Amino acid sequence: MILYGVCALIAGAILALDSVGAAFAVVVPLAAVLWLANVGYAFAAGLTADRGGFRRIPGWLCAAILR
């Protein structure tokens, strides 16, 4: 998630060179959706772990840098 956050900040910085309003209009909703996805999956995994189960995190949420 940190990698996605850094990418969103880079996109915001590039957009801010043209218009700060455009940067906020794109980056703030993007960051909010990424944060909500992270919290949602972490909450669901926590509930499953509380019951003794195991829940996989989706592959798109955790980008594989090295294999």
Which domain does 18 fall in, by range?
2-50
In a domain? residue 59: no
| 34 exposure class (CB count in 10 Å sphere: 0-12, 13-18, 19+) | middle
In a domain? residue 65: no
In a domain? residue 62: no
- pTM metric for this prediction: 0.69
| Cα 24 to chain centroid, rounded | 16
pLDDT score at 60: 74
**What are the tokens at 12?**
């915001």
Mean pLDDT by 10 residues, the chain (67 residues): 83 89 88 88 91 84 68
